[in-house]
Structure formats: C-alpha cells, structure tokens
Chain A
Amino acid sequence: MNLTLRIWRQAGPDAPGSMTTYQVSGISPDMSFLEMLDTLNEELITRGDQPVAFDHDCREGICGACGMVINGQAHGPERTTTCQLHMRHFRDGDTIDVEPWRAAAFPVVKDLVVDRSAFDRIIGSGGYITAPTGSAPEAHATPVPKEAADTAFEHAECIGCGACVAACPNGSAMLFTSAKVVHLNVLPQGAPERAARVRNMVSAMDAEGFGGCTNTGECATACPKGIPLPSIAAMNREFLRAARG
C-alpha cells in the first residue's frame, strides 16, 4: 500500500505546531498502525530528519500508552487501541490525518505525545481502597456476588488511554472517572470509602480543567475497552447519594 500521511508536528509544549505531509510506500496490510509509523520513522532517521514522537509500549492494547486521533477519530476507525489497529482497514492511496489527543487538560509534549498526568492525580484523590499491606482478612471471608464482581471487572478494564477525553467535544473525563468510581463502589471492600471517593474524585477531575458531560456519548463510542456510557449516570447517582449524606 502507498499512503499519504498528514501528521501533527510540534517541537515542544510551547512551540507552534502544524500538519506536515509525508508519503509512505510498501505498507503491508498486516502491519499495525504503529508499525506503519515505525516504517516512516526509519526513513526519516536515515534521511537525518527527526522521527515522529509518539507514546507506545505494550503494543497489545492493554498499557494505554498509545493514542492518536486518526482521521478525526480517537484511535481511528476501529474500536480498539491505535497499536491494535491494522492497516488492512485502510485502502491503497488513502490520505490519513494523524493528530495528538486535543484537550485542555492534556497539553502536547511533542508531536503526538501528550501529558495525561491529570489522570494519575484523579486516581490519587480517591481511586483506591485503603488496604495497607498485611492488613487483609482471608479472601473468602467476604463473598462477592458474581454480578457485582462482573460489574467491577467491566469497569476496571479501563486502560487510562484518554480516548474518552479526546473524543468528547467538552474534553470531559467523566467516563474515565466513573469507571473507577463504579469499579470500587460496587464492591463490599470499597463500601467504607464510597462517599468520600466519589466526592474527592469529582473535585479532582474538575480541578484538572476537564469539561463537563453533556451526554454526547462520544466517549463510550471511542473507548477501546467498552466502558459503558451508563457508568457516568451511576457516578452521578453515587455523587448525589454522597451529597445527601
């Protein structure tokens, strides 16, 4: 396959950026999107140009490091992570636009790399169960209904990639935050900190400059792990419950 790429290049956080056009040829349909970018970068390095910087690590869709807006969609046309998007979903001769996540709370570091540390601070504000090492009771002391365990798992699958924020017209982090709130609040182990958790995480989210939710639903459509949209409603219920005391 031969492709035309239009890629956002930006030297640093304060430097101006722009779309730059590159041609790549000999792309195999079995390549992942990142392997296609590897091919471009090998050429750029050999020519003495700066390769395109992008975050990536596990390349099997679980670490959440990679993420770019491809033809206007977070992670591109398939519902998966960028590393698991394969070139067979494009056609020979296509022009592909590649941009970083764009959100006020995710400043660009370089090219396609953004700073998502706001997510870590949201988790630090309450996205945990206080269980110091060594203090745990026997695991079978508290049976957890399978339904609750399955709901917890479904929400715990979030990989923190930030596609939900990138896809949202408001740059909201509601889906990310609600996934952790629901995961922990639905479990008996998470009950003691239930109210404080949702209050603290929502304020941390607001303080980081993420937008509000207007029920657009783009977040859940873009989510590579299928975190369900009703998770946001569940968080709002938890928030109201906590506010009533």
Chain B
Amino acid sequence: MSYQDYTLGEPIADTKAPAGPIEQRWDQRRFDAKLVNPANRRKHTVIVVGTGLAGGAAGATLAEQGYHVVQFCFQDSPRRAHSIAAQGGINAAKNYRNDGDSIRRLFYDTVKGGDFRARESNVHRLAQVSVEIIDQCVAQGVPFAREYGGLLDTRSFGGVQVSRTFYARGQTGQQLLLGAYQALSRQIAAGNVEIHPRTEMLDLLVVDGRARGIVARDLVTGRITSYTADAVVLATGGYGNVFYLSTNAKNSNATAIWRAHRRGAYFANPCFTQIHPTCIPRSGEHQSKLTLMSESLRNDGRIWVPKAQGDTRPPAQIPEEERDYYLERIYPSFGNLVPRDIASRAAKNVCDEGRGVGPGGQGVYLDFADAIRRMGRDAVEAKYGNLFEMYERITAEDPYQVPMRIYPAIHYTMGGLWVDYDLQTSVPGLFAIGEANFSDHGANRLGASALMQGLADGYFVLPPTINDYLARNPVDAVPADHPVLTEVEAEVEDRLNLILSVDGDRTPDSFHRELGELLWDECGMARDEAGLKRALERIPQLREEFWRRIKVPGTGQELNQSLEKANRLVDYFELAELMCLDALHRAESCGGHFRTESQTPDGEAARRDEEFSYAAAWEFTATGEPPVLHREDLEFEHVHPTQRSYA
C-alpha cells in the first residue's frame, strides 16, 4: 500500500494560550491553572519517558513537587541521554552584555529564525523562561564559563547580533544534562522517582480516550510490561536518525512518538528537519554516524572554498585572492554567523558548482588561520580545544595547521508531536516536551535554542500545566487485567515475533542505510515534487522487502540489539513516508524545508504565506493509507512575517 495524497480534516487550534498581551499570557495561564494540594500529589503517578534535558528536568521537578514519577530510558543510565552531546551553548535573554538584548529580542530572533512557522505565544514564553534557566543551572553547580571577575561569559550564535549564549567550553549539553541528572538522582535516591534504565517504550496505552500508560520492553530480559499512570510525558527526542547518518546518538529513535502518533497523537511538520552546516564529512561506506563541529566555531572560523572549480591544491597553496569566503560575500552583515539552514544551503550550492574540497568534493573549509593570528594559539585552544582535538582524532588532520573540512548533516528535527500551549498532544493526558514536540522552532531552529527549549519545557512549563490537567481530570486506577493492556501487550509481542520469524538475508542496518540514503537524496537539503513522489513510491516497496528479507538472529527473551534496531525500523518506514508527504504538500520553501520550485531570484527560500502560514498536524489512519491533515493557522500579531534577510 502506498499513498501520494491525503484527506483534509477539520482545522485545529491551540485553545490553552490565554488572550491578552503576549507578555502576560504565561502568567495568566499559570494563574488560571488549577492546583493539586501538596498532600494529594503523591497519589498521582506520572510516567516520563526519556531522561534528556527535557525528561530529566521534568522528572526531577515533578518529583520535587510530590508526584510519584515512573521514568524510563533505553540507555544503561539516565546520564547518557543524547542531550549530553550538545556542544555549543544555551541562549538566555539575560542581557549581561548590555548589548541590546531583551526577552522581546530573543522572541523576535526565534520567530524570524524559524521562518515564521512557529506559534508566537509559545516562543514568547520560551524567551521569558530562558532567564530562569540560567539561574537554576548555576544553583545546581553547572560550571559555565566565567570571566576573571567571576561573572558568566557569553558568546554569539548564528542568526543573532547579540551575545546571549552561555556555555561550558564545547560541552554545554553535558554539563546541563549532568545538572538535571543529578537533580533526578537525588529524587531516585529519595524514592520519589522509580527509574527503569535499559527499558524501551514500545507502545502507548490509551484507556477511555486518555493516555494512561505505556508498554515497555526490558532490553536485558526481553520482558514486555504495561506501566500505568494518571498522565504520560514523552521526552524522547527527535527523529533525525530516520536518515541513518546523522549527528544523533546511534540509539536515538522515533518509536515512542510514532507509536503515540498511531494511537491518536497528531504529528506536526514532519518535513521540518535541520541540516547543520558544520559537521565532519563522511570518510567512507563504513560510516556509522556523523560528528558535529559546534556552531560556536563560526564565531572565529572563516568558511571558504576556492574560487575556481576543481581546484585541488592544498589549502595553504591557494592564495587569498583565489579564495571565496562565500558567506561573508553573500551575507555581509551576519557573515559566517548566518542561520543554519542558510549556511547549509550555501555549502551545498558551492559544492554543486564543483568548488567543494576534500574527497568527492563534498566539503568546505572552516579556517582558523586568521583567528590564530589575531588571538594567538593559546586563546583559540582555550576556547575550542576539545573540538579541535575531536576533529583531529577523527580525521588525523591538525586544524591548527590546516583548515577543518566540514559539510552539512542532519542534526535536529523541528517537527514532532503536535502540542498545545500546555504541551499536551491531541491525546488527553499525553504530553510531549523537548525535541519530541514541534512547538517552538518553526521551520528552522537557531543555535543554542534546543538546550533552552528542553530545559524550559522540563523545569518550568510542563510542571504547572500537567498540574492543571491532573487537578481537572481525576481518574481511577487502571486495573492490571484491563483488556487494553492485554491487547496492546499482545500486539507488541506479535510484532517482535514477526520480525524474528522472517529469517531472511538482510541485516537491519542494510535496510536503514538504504532508507537513509533515499531520504537524504529526495527529502534532504533540497526537495522537489518529482523526487518526493519517487520516494513515496519507493518507501512502501522497501517496507515490503523488509518483511520478506529481514534477518534478526537470537530471540526476544534476551539482550538482542539487532531486534531493537529492526523494531525501530518498522516505525522509521512509516515516518519517512509521512515526512515525504508533508514535504510534497508544502509547496513552499521555508527554513530547513527548501523546495526548489519555490525560491527567490537569488536562490533564497521563498515562503508562500497566503497558502502555507499554518502548522500541518497529521492524523494517522493506517499503514500505507493516506493520513488526514489538520491545519493550525498561525497568526502573527507581534512579528510581521517578511522575507528573512541576513544580507
């Protein structure tokens, strides 16, 4: 079964953001929210899936408030969630630099950076809450970079002209995550959080129209168990690994959000994927993942390619006048710090022109020679040392001597489960936070905003909104023998057994690589109607082939990493199909979604606001059947949509 079309359903709208001045909406919402008496909170159980910045922060905070939290991660420890790998920093409108920053400017930059495809109310709240995040993290002992006077240091990231990014060398994500993990560990030790590591959510339990639990597999014993609660929070991250090669951790996957989607949660803007401009190029067919080089490097590194096509001289032999610092040339006011989507497309363009460098011409230079001359090697090392070391380890080239070679790679997904202002999905009682939802970044995320959103959702936004849900929707415990539990458990078991029973001749990775290459070619940095239609034909064929030829040795009653991979692939096939349909239906370019049919004369993304100023929320029907589209119209009262200009 395949599809190339969809049916149009009823429009959808956020009904939770209060009316009134945008600056007062979050205060108003918190005031309107019903409270749960502290003594009654321990009677409520909340399931949190995932222990990254969003999940870790939410689990710790809900437990502090007195709720009984049951939390899951597939890693062996909550400290290993992929937030740990974020390098560059976290934005906050502190205006410590007195450089004209403000909550309003962070709000404006984020809406504009997202190419006017995000909901204003949510973004404004994010900017407001950003300030509290830094305070919270400092109190936890997060060792941010500091000046000699003992105050916090900041730097700049792409798409902005202020210095609002707080950082801990090139390991900001690690330090913020360890802060959340330590807060969570305190609650685990206190008995307020029941933690299930090495346990993967494989389905959602919906009872009487409400999310009431999950079905999960113990990855060591293979045991399938139902866990029930009063509400479920998904903090399971993005779906970039659908492309096989991405900067995501190898085991990050889309199964939790996709299974929730199949149970009724709308999936919004799946085609909004972020391609990060500065990653280490692939070195061969064996490549298992791509490594990011932090955007912070663009503060001091200069990006260039030779002016001439096919110039294969070593970089040091290419004289200054024969180099094209193309970002500085095309975008003089933002230079090397243009937003990610723009920098990535520009790199693709110069490589398509035959001016790329390195093996296969799939790379551009990121050069620190000027910075080393200006600041001295020691200062460059103090700022970026660990990144340079990582680069050298992987490529065996010394970036202090020769420019880095970089190329764009899949890094983040702006799309995700549709949520309202309360971060509740279209299934009552099911919340999605962090990268798992679609809410704040529109069609393109600005650098250092993922950490901000993850922690904002987990520490400050979800706790009061879920409180309101729990107070207004008292529920009885789900009996252990409830038919929904037995049915869903059986479905999960059946799917795993079916995979094991095929006994074909192709490995899970071989299918995943093929799917990833197809998506990268047809639904990657540039997309067009013909390519997307090809992909929509090919994906169902690949899925059909999977069910004939997949080979997974071993059983389901043991640690079986091949079975885990194959099971995630089943969901990737369906997700990939929806991504291509979403990209096909959105016949405009915006942010990271570039339709070659819709560009300005100078090759920039051309939005078509009259037709596409909405978030596309998709409703699942059946595997291979056309989904239903629900549009959420976006209104811009405060930031007037314009063609983004970074020139």
Contacts and interface: CB of A to CB of B under 8 A. Distances in A.
Interface of A: 11-12, 28, 30-32, 34-35, 38-39, 42, 44-46, 48-51, 53, 55-65, 78, 80, 84, 86, 88, 109-110, 113, 115-117, 119-121, 123-125, 127-140, 142-146, 149-150, 152-153, 156-157, 159-160, 183-184, 187, 189-190
A44 B562 CA distance: 11
Contact of B141 (A123, A125, A129, A133): A129
B55 to A, nearest CB: 14
Given A35-B286, A156-B175, A51 B250 contact: no
Contact of B150 (A57, A134, A146): A146
B309 interface: no
B507 A57 contact: no
Contacts of A49: 553
B141 A120 contact: no
Nearest to B280: A60
Interface of B: 57, 60-61, 64, 75-80, 82, 84-85, 94, 96, 132, 134-141, 143-152, 168-169, 171, 173-175, 178, 181-183, 185-186, 188-189, 197, 220, 249-252, 283-284, 286-289, 291-292, 390, 393-394, 396, 459-460, 463, 505, 507, 509-510, 551-554, 558-559, 561-562
Contact of B559 (A53, A119, A137): A53
Nearest to A189: B141
A59 B250 contact: yes
A146 B139 contact: no
Nearest to A180: B182
Given A128-B185, A138-B135, A46 B507 contact: yes
Contacts of B186: 124, 128, 130
* Dominant secondary structure at the A interface: loop
Contacts of B134: 139
Contacts of A42: 507, 509-510
Contacts of B185: 120, 123-124, 127-128
B505 A46 contact: yes
A61 B170 CA distance: 12
Contacts of B79: 64, 120, 123, 160
Contacts of A61: 390, 393
B481 to A, nearest CB: 31
Contacts of B143: 149-150, 152-153, 156, 183, 187
Given A123-B185, A133-B64, A140 B291 contact: no
15 contacts: A30-B286, A31-B284, A45-B551, A46-B551, A60-B390, A63-B249, A116-B76, A117-B197, A136-B135, A137-B135, A139-B94, A145-B146, A149-B144, A153-B175, A189-B139
A145 B152 CA distance: 10
Given A51-B562, A56-B250, A157 B171 contact: yes
A63 B52 CA distance: 11
Contacts of B188: 120, 124
A139 B135 contact: yes
Contacts of A145: 146, 150
Nearest to B138: A139
B505 A149 contact: no
Nearest to A131: B139
A109 B478 CA distance: 33
Contact of B189 (A84, A124, A138): A124
B94 A86 contact: no
Nearest to A139: B138
B136 A131 contact: yes
A39 B249 CA distance: 18
B286 A190 contact: no
Given A63-B82, A132-B64, 15 more contacts: A44-B553, A57-B252, A58-B80, A59-B291, A65-B75, A110-B558, A121-B189, A125-B189, A127-B185, A131-B139, A134-B136, A136-B136, A156-B168, A160-B77, A189-B140
Nearest to A80: B393
List the 3 shortest-distance A-B pairs measured between CB atoms, nearest first: A143-B150, A124-B189, A128-B182
A126 B428 CA distance: 37
Contacts of A139: 94, 134-135, 137-138, 152
Contacts of B57: 133
A78 B394 CA distance: 13
A132 B220 CA distance: 33
Contact of A128 (B140, B393, B510): B140
Contact of B96 (A65, A128, A140): A140
A141 B398 CA distance: 41
A115 B82 CA distance: 19
Contacts of A35: 286-288
A59 B183 contact: no
Nearest to B186: A128
B390 A45 contact: no
A139 B139 CA distance: 7
Nearest to A57: B249
A123 B182 contact: yes
B559 A110 contact: yes
Contacts of B291: 59-60
A26 B636 CA distance: 57
B80 to A, nearest CB: 4
Contacts of B459: 133-134
Nearest to B170: A62
B393 A86 contact: yes
A79 to B, nearest CB: 10
Contacts of B94: 139
Contacts of A84: 390, 393-394
Contacts of A120: 77-79, 185, 188, 197
Given A117-B77, A129-B182, A132-B64, A30 B288 contact: no
Nearest to B285: A28
Nearest to B62: A133
Given A117-B76, A117-B197, A128-B182, A57 B82 contact: yes
B394 A86 contact: yes
Contacts of A58: 80, 82, 84-85, 249-250
Given A140-B152, A156-B175, A183-B143, A65 B80 contact: yes
Nearest to B559: A110
Contacts of B286: 28, 30-31, 35, 38-39
A241 to B, nearest CB: 19
B237 to A, nearest CB: 12
A59 B241 CA distance: 13
B169 A153 contact: yes
A60 B85 contact: yes
B463 to A, nearest CB: 7
B151 A140 contact: yes
B626 to A, nearest CB: 35
B183 A128 contact: yes
A137 B554 contact: no
Given A127-B182, A133-B136, A51 B561 contact: yes
Contacts of B78: 120
A127 B183 CA distance: 9
A39 B285 CA distance: 11
B136 A30 contact: no
